[in-house]
């Protein structure tokens, strides 16, 4: 596949940049920004994240895009490199949001099932992820509702 750099340093995505990237990608792909934000939150990737999996693949960047999907990504975004996915948070979020919407379309617009497929199509991992997503989504909704009230 490819060799990952040995000196990768991981850095949190600043919240304002995260929200900008999520809102831009969500608007473009016509999906709720809270869904995209929650997936990025669950995945926990950072700028510089390249996590090796047991099967030899890597999860890249903010939304932890798996290299098993690189051919699909390259087909749609031929100029995007794996280094872009690792080090450019808006590129990663944009591609991740595209990938999510493709999974949702693939299951006849069943959003929750598409979200599970974002992580894995293997039933046990898929179902666990859907449950985790639902819990985190509720938590994030509360967080942003409280934040909005405090900002007023």
State pLDDT tens for residues 100-116: 999 999 999 999 999 99
Per-residue pLDDT of the chain (152 residues; tens, 9 = 90+): 455 555 667 899 999 999 999 999 999 999 999 999 999 999 999 999 999 999 999 999 999 999 999 999 999 999 999 999 999 999 999 999 999 999 999 999 999 999 999 999 999 999 999 999 999 999 998 887 665 555 65
Question: Which of these CATH numbers, 1.20.1050.10, 3.40.50.980, 1.10.530.10, 1.25.40.10, describes 15-151?
Answer: 1.10.530.10
CB atoms closer than 10 angstroms to residue 60: 28
pTM: 0.89
Q: For residue 64, what are the CA distances in angstroms to 46, 57, 109, 118?
A: 9, 11, 22, 10
Give the max Cα distance, the chain: 50
Where exactly are the structural domains of the chain?
Answer: 15-151
Over the range 93-130, which residues count as b (16 or more CB within 10 Å of their CB) and which as e?
A: bbbbbbbbbbbbeeeeeeeebbbbbbbeeeeeebeebb
Strands annotated E in 31-132: 50-52, 58-60, 65-66
Spatial contact of 98 and 69, defined as CB atoms under 8 Å apart:
no
């Amino acid at each position: 596949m490819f060799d990952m750099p040995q000196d990768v340093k991981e850095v949190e995505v600043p919240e304002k940049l995260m929200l900008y990237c999520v809102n831009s990608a969500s608007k473009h792909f016509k999906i709720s920004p809270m869904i995209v934000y929650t997936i990025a939150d669950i995945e926990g990737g950072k700028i510089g994240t390249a996590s090796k999996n047991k099967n030899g693949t890597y999860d890249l960047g903010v939304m932890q895009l798996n290299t098993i999907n690189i051919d699909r990504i390259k087909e749609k975004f031929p100029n995007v490199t794996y280094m872009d996915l690792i080090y450019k948070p808006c590129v990663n979020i944009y591609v991740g949001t595209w990938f999510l919407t493709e999974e949702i379309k693939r299951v006849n617009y069943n959003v929750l099932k598409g979200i599970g497929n974002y992580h894995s199509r293997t039933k046990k991992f898929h179902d666990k992820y859907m449950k985790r997503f639902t819990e985190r989504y509720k938590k994030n909704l509360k967080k942003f509702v409280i934040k909005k009230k405090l900002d007023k």
